[in-house]
Amino acid sequence: MLDNSRKWRPEPDWTRAVLAAPSLSVRAVAGLPQRLVSGDIGGFLARYGLSSDVGALGLASGGRYAVRMARDRLLAVGITAQDCADGWHVEGYGVTTVGAGLRVLEARGQGVRDLIARATTIDPADPGPCAALQFCGMTCSVYFHGDLQTLRIHVDRGLAAYLWEWLECQPLLSGGTAGA
């Protein structure tokens, strides 16, 4: 029987995986509660005290925030199942836990803008209201967290290893060290 698994490298150990170079480092963010919210987005934001949501290359801060995924859908980060149960809520929105479905990578440093220029065709001066965009040929949710030198990328878990390999090949990171 044909064994295609030999074509791919094993997935990195995400708890220890780090790409580091002088102007940029990348690591996985573990344990981040992620919930997909559909429906009355304004009602959800008000109910959980979130002032607004961030779009593409927007700036999120703190441990609890919302990232816009589509017109009537957002990714609530930092809100646990104890805070908000999965399912339909009478306020007009539905919530689904997706924490295991999305891997979060965080790129930090002065080279973040160069990484954005290599990974996407989006205009950083006019990125748009939705954080879901084509990044490295895949649909990812991309925004800044805490400051404009820390980029968070939410990618489908099954595609995270591909994104990691793509990052390893970038000149911004090729001069650094890799740990897995």
pLDDT, tens digit, 9 for 90 and up, residues 119-170: 999 988 889 999 999 999 999 999 999 999 999 999 999 999 999 999 998 8
Average pLDDT on 50-76 reads 94
Confidence of residue 179 (pLDDT cuts 50, 70, 90): low
Joined together, the tokens standing for residue 6 give 């030999």
Asked if residue 63 belongs to a domain, the reply is yes
Q: Domain with 135 in it: what CATH number?
A: 3.30.1360.120
Instruction: Give the ranges where the chain is alpha helix by DSSP (H).
Output: 41-47, 112-119, 160-168, 171-174
Q: Are residues 89 and 144 in the same domain?
A: no
Asked if residue 160 belongs to a domain, the reply is yes
Asked if residue 180 belongs to a domain, the reply is no
Asked if residue 140 belongs to a domain, the reply is yes
**Domain membership of residue 77 as a residue range:** 34-97
Mean pLDDT of the chain: 91
pLDDT at 177: 53
pLDDT at 8: 74
Joined together, the tokens standing for residue 14 give 């995400």
Q: Are 150 and 142 spatial neighbours (Cβ–Cβ below 8 Å)?
A: no
Model pLDDT for residues 82-119, shown as the tens digit of each residue: 999 999 999 999 999 998 899 999 999 999 999 999 99
